[in-house]
Structure 1
């Protein structure tokens, strides 16, 4: 099955290329913010909506004005792509996947997208529009054989690193099917407890570097605004944040790939993380653990490799139900990690019992669907219970 897949690489542009990229990033940011202001004002002042076609025509007029004539100094393709990104941001907002689009800032991550008519690809070398030399790319892994980029996105993070994302169409073969099914209970004490009895610890990447990060942030706050020393201190803070994010991303990718390769069916809970992070004492730990990113990786990797992902309803009482006899507790405090079933007397580890219940419910859904299930993700809504004021599950 052919899939569009992005391959990300580190790049080291020359001084001249960095200047061109900085100019391009600034123009893309300006166009995005200008279009966002246009769309917002048109809706609130005139009760009408502006779409890509109207904004593209207005952008042509904007580039002809004397005050913004500098927009012509960069390639027009990234500017048009900035409008498309804004359209996508509004689509995500109206469909409930994201909040209302916000203005892009200079100190945040910057990016510019080039389509095929704005770059030259020849024998593994990539030259962007307005550049005379190809980019120096660190090929950490090869591109698919015969893969031709349909678009490339070059970005710069807060730590000053440049990355290149190359989108190609690849033939991804499904993994050989097996009979393995596993349930995963996500948590904070341990990152995930599996129904097989395996427990993967929580690395707590942010917690390990929290003191170092706090020290760097205090030093940054003491520096005079606008000074070079303040910018150097800001860069140190950004590098610490990048170190934390990189280590977390690497851990999640390795674990999700391992589960996808070893198991045909993976069952997880559909957690509402954006509501859970409002917890007064656990919000920092929930943000550090990265549940949403982990489940998202399982979703698209299951779709790629022909696996089944079953997501159990978030209100299913997986922790309070005895896996041996089905007895349901009326309440179970969060600090209770082990308990004895009053019905059959079985002794349960809270997380392992939840993982076993999750895989049992997931397999029930899968068997009920039967042959209608295609290889890929399966979203299940089973065991939905009325919302309770008691947060213990």
Structure 2
């Protein structure tokens, strides 16, 4: 069974600079594919007969130019390929109606880069510590430091993400558990079809998530604790203060960027408080249900 994991990364200043450049190259290829598809679609609609559609492929070699885009030559070709393939797969899902159409990615402090197994490897050193090597033999950033809080097997691909000035590594791995042992949706439905009303009312719990009160479970409300309310209100006051400061700072300045990062950190703190409360309530209801059984 596939499990997801997210690990905190601690890159050096030099590694941050290179990773940001790689993320920018991946975003450039994504936006270039979006622009190419838009141009061909408009051209085909205006100048070709009805029923002629723009070609959709995962080629990206046409975007590399030593005159127009010389920075792409400093990025591993696997990253450029992965960005084009991800765009193509997203477009195929859009054609099937599974998701929306790929859109242009705006400039922001957030970014991500998709690395396949040719561009990374987990190495267990002599001291027993597992380290992550990023890059190829000729173009790499060395070993990336990360915090491992759980055991995992080596994945086939990873994502390195940047948000609020913080870096993380996320991927899926196989825990060798057979999913066939679990019941499917149809099996669950066939089991519950024969249950009586009293059994269903006793064994099921309906949860309603709100804004002021995070969780309502049946006739019981689970509100934030006093400490959580104080921490959240304090972050909201900081956000208002920093928003006033942000409006007076020059666009593009380093101080304005630092203020934006501070605002995003306080927003993330409020989000984490809500997520932590929901997780606590879920675990409480599960343990309470086990005691009743």
Do they fold alike, i.e. is TM over 0.5? yes
Name the CA shift for 1:253/1:82 in 2 (closer, same or farther; >3 Å). farther
2:263, 2:5 → 1: CA distance? 27
Hey, what does 1:231 align to over in structure 2? 257
Matches for 1:52-201 after TM superposition, within 5 Å: 54-56=57-59, 59-91=60-92, 93=94, 99-123=100-124, 124-129=130-135, 130-139=139-148, 141-144=149-152, 147-157=153-163, 159-172=164-177, 180-195=203-218, 197-201=219-223
Q: What TM-score results when the alignment is normalised by the length of structure 1?
A: 0.56
Cα distance change of structure 1 residues 17 and 41 upon mapping to structure 2, 3 Å threshold = same
Take 1:119 and 1:241, find their aligned partners in 2: how far apart are those partners?
32
Q: TM-score, normalised by structure 2?
A: 0.73
Aligned to 1:7: 5
Q: How is 1:263-302 mapped onto 2 (pairs within 5 angstroms)?
A: none
- Alpha-carbon shift at residue 259 of structure 1 (Å): 4.9
Number of residues of Structure 1 aligned to a counterpart in Structure 2: 253
Distance (Å, rounded) in 1 between the aligned partners of 2:3 and 2:86: 18
Q: CA RMSD in A?
A: 3.2
Offset at residue 169 of structure 1 (A): 1.1
Unaligned ranges ≥5, structure 1: 265-393
Once the two structures are superposed, what CA deviation does each residue of 1:39-88 show, in whole Å capped at 9, x if it has no partner?
Answer: 1222222142443xx332xx113225532232121112222222233234
**After the TM superposition, which residues 329-348 of structure 1 pair with which residues of structure 2 at under 5 Å, given as runs?**
none
Q: Distance in 1 between matches of 2:287 and 2:33?
A: 44
Determine which of 5, 17, 24 is the counterpart of 1:26: 24
The structure in which a higher percent of residues are helix is 2
Q: Which has the higher contact order (CA 8 A, sep 6+)?
A: 2
Asked if structure 2 preserves the Cα contact closer than 8 Å seen for 1:180 and 1:262, the reply is no
Gaps of 5+ in 2: 46-52, 125-129, 189-198
Cα offset, 1:261, TM superposition: 6.7
> How many Å apart are 1:27 and its aligned residue?
0.4
The answer on whether the counterparts of 1:121 and 1:127 sit within 8 Å (CA) in structure 2 is yes
Distance 1:74 1:108 in 2: 19
Instruction: Give the Cα separation in 2 of the matches to 1:229 and 1:160.
Output: 14
2:77 and 2:277 mapped to 1: Cα distance?
Answer: 38
Q: Is the 8 A contact 1:193 1:200 kept in 2?
A: yes
Give the Å deviation of 1:97: 5.9
